[in-house]
Amino acid sequence: MQNFYWMARYQDSELFDVDYLREKELVEFNLGGKPFIVYPISLGYGLLYYAASFVVNHIWFSKFLILLLLPLCLIYLFKIAQIAGSQLSGICLSLIFTFFMLASYQSVSIGSGLQRGFIIPLLIVFLYYLARKHFVRAAVTIFVSGLIYWPIFPLTVLTFSLSLIKPHPKYKFAIDFDVRKIAPFLVSVILSLGVLIWGLTVNSNLVIPRDTAVTQDPMLSAEGSTPLFISFPWLGRAGVFDSGIDIVNFIVLAIFAGLILKLSGRQSLRRVPVAGWYLLLSGWIMFIASFITFVGFSSSILYQPSRYTRAVLFLVMILFVGLNWPDFLQKFPAWFRKKQLQIIFFFVSLGFSLSLAYFVFPSRLLLVPLIWFLFIIGAGFVTLLGGSSWYWLRHNSTTSRMAGLLLITIVTLLTGFYYINNLGLKFINPSQAERNIYEFAATLPKNAILAGDPIVMSGIPLFSERSVLFRDLHPNVNSNSIIFIPEYFEAQYAQSPQVILDFCQKYKVTHLVLNMTQFDPNFIAGQEFFYEPWNSEIIEKLDQMPLTKFMLPTVPPIYSSEPYRIIECTPTTFDGIR
């Protein structure tokens, strides 16, 4: 929600009069003598929060959204399972979905309160209507998707289009031109395109190719704020996944999907509605198209490749595993008893291999992450496998059966908690010192503009409702950031008051938030002040000045909470120090 601090203006229009972060992405109208702010690129998302602002603060509404979206998902997942005529599949699907949703990072989590938190719910609703052949409702879902989170729009359009293609023998295809399907589809697409074109016009930076190719952009390098690839081709903004947590969840689901396919064969594929496979194909098509435009042409007109695959792969995997779970529970125990020697051999070999690796390469930096990775995957596997154990207890006596069920319940809950706790949605949890800074900053005048420690600056717009010059989160949103971020660090380490005052006057900065650890000689010697490409510019500026006897540490703060200080950037502040 740190990107949507500006929604505080719904309740107080005097806030963020000068906004360096989002001023070019918002459109302000005069509605009945009062300012009305819209977010064109996600028009429906902004309007939803505007409507909620009459009742509740936007931060609280973002927390409440999961209470609306999760039941919606579960209802429609249950309906999808009923298409196959199995209520048990619906229950299994709902439980598995809830577990992995709680263990999902904000990239696909419906608990983030962000636009992308709507992608899974809207795709579930869309798939149900398409599978049920409710084409008008599916078309309405396409329109709503375009309003809320525009990467959903091409996914739903492609999936709907694929459903109109009718295969015939000898590899021939025909398009279904039934007006009852085509008419609502075209209307929704035309209306959505009108809104999206307006949004892309306002956010023209998404359409216009970058001046620097993304493969050469320092911001997208390993030292940048948003690496293009962390591990090619799986992880990164242009990868299949955007988060390592998504990969872990996918691996756990993929293990079960492989077992299900082995035990149930092609029948397991048929349990997933055809619309689900169309969606999977659409996801890969959009991934390739977005990869070409983003990496090949340095344009974000189709956003980033990972935005498509991470959600689609997650949803289709959940559908496949959940809808086949009852059949898997019946067949797995017999298969396990038959293969238990091979399974035991595998885990013994794995433990031996890890021990040997540590003996040959005694480095905790290599081994500990690998062990953590394997333990996490194992925890997810054990958690889901807990349900299967019930079948193993069928032929036991009542006493041993009850003891076994109790043991299984405890192990399942503990490993499930461990899995979710390590992978689940991470909430912003500032230190007490940062909280103190946020509370004090909220008491400053509404037209205050702060500059300072980038990490602290990330939370001030949301928690303190005050403007900042730049922040650690998405520092590139302002095209002039390559100029004023190095200038800030030049002012921070200045020896002359005039350099500091000139900087504040140039950018209308009223207060500086200093992190005193950044004046430590070891920090300065490390020369890691910020992300690239700003860091190189900062170093170039600082190389031209002596990095001793700094001015700002000697200035009396108006507030301090170690290691942070807030200084008022006015001439009177420096009068006694000149």
Return the CATH number at 487: 3.40.50
Task: Determine, yes or no, domain membership for 206.
Answer: yes
d(CA 413, CA 418): 9
Q: Token pair of 515, please?
A: 């992190």
pLDDT of residue 395: 56
pLDDT digits (tens, 9 = 90+) for 480-505: 888 999 999 999 999 889 999 999 99
pLDDT of residue 417: 85
pTM: 0.89
pLDDT of residue 391: 60
Given 400, 423, 446, which residue is the final one in a domain? 423
Q: What angle do CA 219, 224, 227 make, to 5 degrees?
A: 90
pLDDT of residue 396: 57
Domain shared by 88 and 184, yes or no: yes
Task: Determine, yes or no, domain membership for 208.
Answer: yes
Domain shared by 185 and 281, yes or no: yes
d(CA 369, CA 362): 13
Task: Determine, yes or no, domain membership for 437.
Answer: yes
pLDDT of residue 533: 87
Domain shared by 150 and 119, yes or no: yes
Task: Determine, yes or no, domain membership for 457.
Answer: yes
Three-class secondary structure of residue 137 per DSSP = helix
Q: Are 263 and 328 in contact (CB under 8 A)?
A: yes
pLDDT of residue 104: 85
pLDDT digits (tens, 9 = 90+) for 68-126: 999 999 999 999 999 877 788 898 899 999 999 988 876 788 888 888 899 999 999 99
Task: Determine, yes or no, domain membership for 198.
Answer: yes
Domain shared by 319 and 375, yes or no: no
pLDDT of residue 237: 86
d(CA 254, CA 559): 53
Domain of residue 417, residue span: 328-423
Task: Determine, yes or no, domain membership for 204.
Answer: yes
CA dist list (Å): 195 to 44, 216, 558? 10, 33, 47
pLDDT of residue 270: 93
pLDDT < 70: residue spans in the chain? 23, 106, 170-171, 364-366, 368, 387-388, 390-401, 426-428, 576-578
Domain shared by 174 and 307, yes or no: yes
Given 366, 397, 423, which residue is the final one in a domain? 423
Given 371, 406, 423, which residue is the final one in a domain? 423
Q: In the chain, what percentage of residues exceed pLDDT 90?
A: 47
pLDDT of residue 492: 94
Domain shared by 464 and 558, yes or no: yes
Domain shared by 381 and 517, yes or no: no
- Measured N-to-C along each axis, helices 58-83 and 87-102 cross at an angle, to the nearest 10 degrees, of 150
Domain shared by 417 and 467, yes or no: no
Work out the burial of residue 358: count CB atoms within 10 Å of its CB; fewer than 13 is exposed, 13-18 middle, 19 or more buried: middle
Task: Determine, yes or no, domain membership for 369.
Answer: yes
d(CA 62, CA 52): 10
Residue 428: DSSP 8-state? P
pLDDT of residue 393: 63
d(CA 177, CA 402): 59
Task: Determine, yes or no, domain membership for 62.
Answer: yes
Number of structural domains the chain divides into? 3
pLDDT of residue 77: 95
Helix (H) or strand (E) holding 260: helix 244-264
Domain shared by 394 and 445, yes or no: no
Domain shared by 333 and 319, yes or no: no
Domain shared by 437 and 413, yes or no: no
Domain shared by 280 and 379, yes or no: no
